[in-house]
Structure 1
Amino acid sequence: MTKLGLEAKDLEPTQTIFHGIVPDLSCSPIGQIRLNVLAYHALLGRPALAKFMAVPHYAYLKMKLPGPKGLITITGDYRKSLESARDGGKLAESLVIAEERRQLDRIFALANETSAVPILAEEPADEASFKPSKETKKVKLHPEDPSCSKYVVVGTCLDSK
């Protein structure tokens, strides 16, 4: 985006979800943007493929579409494709990790701000049963969402690390 002279405020919201970029996770893009393509390199989404009646074949890195004088076949570059997939996967993974880190930091900050509320638990019948710490408190997962009723129970004696 920076190389194109774009900023986050230029992005429009999108409902698209990507699967398989980061193994075992789904990712949502930060937004979408419409650009006039003035070069031969472009990313085509499903609406563009449907409009051009294009048929992509990802394994062969080929795309075929009807042209004014017959069938047009576009061939991709395997080396560039692998580099792009590798770099995109690393970027996506780092963004997911960064977002998870922000959420954990927010939970820890909320836990430190909230006063300790002891949670009374029934005494287990078996001595080997799991026993929570006596010093615990409930922290709302999404404090800005009044409809969210999900909480996490954290120990008040935990180190911030």
Structure 2
Amino acid sequence: MVDLIISTKRITKVLIDGGSSLNIMYAKMLDEMGIDWTCICPIRAPFHSGMPRKQAVPLGQINLPVTFRDPSNYRTKILTFKVVGFPETYHAILGCPCYVRLMGIPNYTYLNLKIPGLSGVITVGTSFQHAYECEVECCDHATAIVASGELAAIKKEVTKEAPDPKKSIGSFEPMEGSKEVLIDPDSPNGKVVRIGTTLSSK
């Protein structure tokens, strides 16, 4: 079993994303590792690799030691992470900068990452079951975010179209500039109808 350790914490849910131009760390994960926020270097340049067609602004960036190891071999490098505040199901995302720094080669078919170590090649991998569980959790998380956004939009639309509570429900309100006209002048019941005074004689 190969351990992936970021700073001093063992990480079990890391997304290896060869299409990402960034290494990403979530603010919640930094809190769990007990890292002081004064260690974060402020940076406000937006990026687009986190959410399709949307830009995100990081809280800052931080340099952390990342160790890949097994009982007889290990490799440690300092990686730069963009720190983001939005919630996610992974602990971190390792992108192209990680591969370049560690000279790693990913194989997405077999869910492996191979990097040179002090005593030979280190193979970092996971089971298909674990990968499937992470994917399901990520999809559920994304669905919940979309649903919450749609619900907020529906609530906003309903608020705009909400009826005036001062008006009596189910009753007709007389329009301004109307007059009462007898339906049948010869009838004793005296039923009337309201007609707008602004109508033409036709």
Which structure features the higher share of strand residues? 2
| Higher relative contact order (CA closer than 8 Å, sequence separation 6+) | 2
TM-score (norm 2): 0.38
Mark the structure with the bigger radius of gyration. 2
